[in-house]
Chain A
Amino acid sequence: MYAQAARARARKQVDVDKDDDELKRAKEAYAWESSNVRSWDQIEEDPETGKLKSFVREKQIARKRSRDDGFTGVRRGIIRFCVLIIDMSEHVRATDLKPSRADLFCESVSSFAKEYFDQNPISQLSVVMTRDYEAIKLSSFSSNEKHHIEAMRKALRLGPSGAASLQNALKIANKNLSTVPPYAMKEVIVCYGSLSTCDPGDIHATINLLASSKVRCSAVGLGAELHILRVLTKSTNGTYSIAMNEEHFRDSLGSHVIPPPTTTKQVSASLIRMGYPILQRIDEPTLYCNNPSVRGRLGYNCPRCSGWLSEMPCECTLCGLTLVSSPHLARSYHHLFPVPKFISLETSDLDLRLQSKEDEAKFAKAMKLLPIDVLRCTGCAKLLEKEASLRLLCPSCVKVFCVDCDAFVHDSLHHCPGCGV
């Protein structure tokens, strides 16, 4: 009996060890364990000319390589309904993270909400707080970041007290998520500071319930790893990370801004009836339907019932039609039409994926560019010398770009300045 248990424990140990996360985390040293970085070590003298060798190029290559990692072509859940669970127990009064754990939670969640709606404009958020052995819903699902920032201020006003109850919080989250439409991605993100939970019943039953209703649960913890959070995140395909410092906590929470990968089983696709109204300025201030205490001259007319509304995206209060503006939808189109990865123009074995005659013409064009010593970046007109800086090529328009423009085009612009002519 004892041996069996030991074997089971050993197997579990191996499982945990296999966890990619775990391995990655083990490799990362704490700030105080890493060696000193001395910038002068990177400078080297050229023995022939006596000049300092430039390491700009090596740095550029490293930067390009680090940017090329990561998935593309993954289906992501773009319409998300996410419940944030905030631990407001006595444990978050601790000041090991500055100014205090509770302040860090509130500040990070507020900035998370801003970025979340910037990246996922037609998704929704809700905040649940747990303290005093119970859980309270602070804000209902909405797309307005102000509601959630106000909710976090309220949490801070109430202050930390008592013990946290993970089960109660998860139950409220599950209840909230049960009315979400089937095409939406259901998520829970737990910000946990305690090392314990005070539950009224069997928390494993609640976790199974969440797993069966396809809710993806992730957690960001402080201090040490909690077994129950590991179980929760593992059985619902979420991620779990322990923050080492303030910056790491912000980054870990911030990593949830990008929509998570999904499968057809998790989220079903469907067509959603929507209205795309025009922003109008009218002569006479009129009462808003969604906010009946305010009059205004700037607003939207619902295309179905002509209701006068003040903000978007929202659901028309009169007829229930989902209203969005086309820029909200267009924000995610760059996932659909991504800019091809730029390839470096160094040797003649260019990875242009030759398939047709057209591609051969492209290859010939690229070959002509290769021996030229000084080229000009198509984006910012910077001069690119052969030896000094990395030169990159857009595979679809065969034009040269610098490293800065490569990063800018792929991270922010999502449109190649050379293509589309």
Chain B
Amino acid sequence: MRAPRGDFRVRAADDPPSLLVVILDVAALAWTDIAGDKATATLQSVIEQLLVFLNSFMLLHESNRICVILASPDGAQLVFPELSEPGSRCSDIDLVAEDNALDAATAGSGFTLHAEQTPLKLRDAVLAGVKEAFRAQEGEVASAPAPISTALATALCLHNRAKSIKSTRSSLSLGQGNGQANNDSGTCNGRILMLIASEDAPEQYVPVMNCIFSAQRMGVPLDSCIHGDKDSTYLQQAAYLTNGVCLRPNEFSTENPNVLIQILQTVFLTDRLNRDFLAMPTPRKVDFRASCMKTRQIIEDGYTCSVCLSTFATTVAKGAAMCPICSARFAITSRVKRRPPRP
């Protein structure tokens, strides 16, 4: 932990606003696995605590902005800011005004929503969205886990939009002495927080990794809080590669779901700049093991195809004449000459 800088007060005033995209897992099956009969009650409690957290986040900076995405087996749904469906009841002018509001919401400058209205709106929007998502899942017999990659990709698209608005704004207002606009326009000051109940799905591996690399390039930390009782390899790697935090709070249980608020407030409230000054939880281990592309089993050592870099377990690779993924023919090399060790 480093000592805070001397000009702390000046810096705090100059802190740029941030955009926080929250992804809430609403897969009914996953919550039932965790809490059994109390699934709805537990999720209700998690949402209440999340709303308190979001309101405290809004209080940190007058231009801090929030988007909430629900991840359900049917895909990702942006529930806040509330958007009406185009083409139906509203006139086009309303829609354009709304779009501008979203621009302002994601870029976080100039436009201020009515302070006393936002928490209520947020609450209504999230609760209505969750109810809707649960209703949609009711009919399905075996509902799948939520595809995290879809929600993550939508969240990153929102960050990309915020970033492009910000960079055009700052290029327009250059030279006007506007301190906030030319504040690091290259990297957007945003974060993504995932509240996840589902377990890792092997078919999600490639899309999730692609999202992680994109977030890494954009400088968006991926935070995650896991409610299930299994560690998530994907989310651990996401946090490690993007300087985020991945937590699976042991204290959280069906009997005592109210401990979540403490974790949210103490760990996930701090932004990227201030995390340097605090002792953030560090992972005990990050699972970088590969999974066999054929059998889906996790492997610690195995074979890699030199053309497509697919990984295979030893049993699959033995005697293979052709790559099962990219169908490249393997040359029959008796032995690869090893390079002499470096001095």
Contacts and interface: CB of A to CB of B under 8 A. Distances in A.
B315 interface: no
A166 to B, nearest CB: 25
Contact of A330 (B73, B96, B206): B206
Contacts of B154: 378-379, 417
A142 B341 CA distance: 11
Interface stretch (A12-20, A41-49, A149-157, A175-183): A175-183
Interface string B31-67: 0000000000000000000000000000000000000
A376 B95 CA distance: 10
A267 B86 CA distance: 53
B131 interface: no
A334 B207 CA distance: 9
The residue among A271, A272, A280, A329 with the most chain B CB atoms within 10 A of its own CB is: A271
A26 interface: no
A329 B304 contact: yes
B232 interface: no
A276 B337 contact: no
B128 interface: no
A140 B83 contact: no
Given A181-B337, A404-B164, A414 B320 contact: no
B160 A179 contact: no
B157 A412 contact: no
Given A404-B164, A421-B147, A272 B306 contact: yes
Interface stretch (A237-245, A352-360, A380-388): A380-388
Given A336-B308, A373-B87, A412-B214, A269 B95 contact: no
The residue among B95, B289, B309 with the most chain A CB atoms within 10 A of its own CB is: B309
A201 interface: no
A272 B307 contact: no
A278 B337 contact: no
Interface stretch (B11-19, B246-254, B295-303): B295-303
Nearest to B337: A179
Given A271-B317, A404-B161, A413-B214, A78 B150 contact: no
A244 B320 CA distance: 50
B338 A182 contact: no
B328 A269 contact: yes
B276 interface: no
B329 interface: yes
The residue among A75, A281, A312, A327 with the most chain B CB atoms within 10 A of its own CB is: A327
Interface in B147-173: 147, 149-150, 153-154, 156-158, 160-161, 164
B4 interface: no
B190 to A, nearest CB: 13
Given A279-B288, A383-B95, A274 B153 contact: no
Nearest to A77: B307
Interface residues of A: mostly helix, strand, loop or mixed?
Answer: loop
A325 B149 CA distance: 21
A420 B154 CA distance: 12
Contacts of B237: 326-327
Contacts of A408: 156-157, 160
B325 interface: yes
Given A273-B301, A273-B303, A281-B283, A372 B87 contact: yes
B117 interface: no
Interface in A305-332: 312, 317, 320-321, 324-327, 329-332
A415 B301 contact: no
Contacts of A331: 209, 213
Nearest to A385: B92
Interface in A360-417: 372-383, 385, 404-405, 408-409, 412-417
A279 B285 contact: yes
Contacts of A272: 303-306, 336
A360 B304 CA distance: 39
A122 interface: yes
B206 A270 contact: no
A37 B210 CA distance: 38
Given A280-B284, A320-B338, A333-B209, 19 more contacts: A79-B309, A183-B306, A264-B329, A272-B306, A274-B303, A274-B304, A276-B290, A278-B288, A280-B285, A327-B212, A329-B309, A332-B308, A333-B206, A336-B206, A383-B95, A413-B156, A415-B210, A420-B147, A421-B75
Interface of A: 75, 78-79, 122, 140-142, 179-184, 264, 267-281, 300, 303-304, 312, 317, 320-321, 324-327, 329-337, 372-383, 385, 404-405, 408-409, 412-421
Q: What 8 A-B pairs have minimum CB-CB distances, sorted nearest first?
A: A379-B157, A183-B306, A268-B331, A325-B288, A417-B153, A380-B161, A269-B328, A330-B209
8 contacts: A75-B328, A78-B307, A272-B305, A274-B302, A279-B240, A280-B284, A382-B99, A421-B75
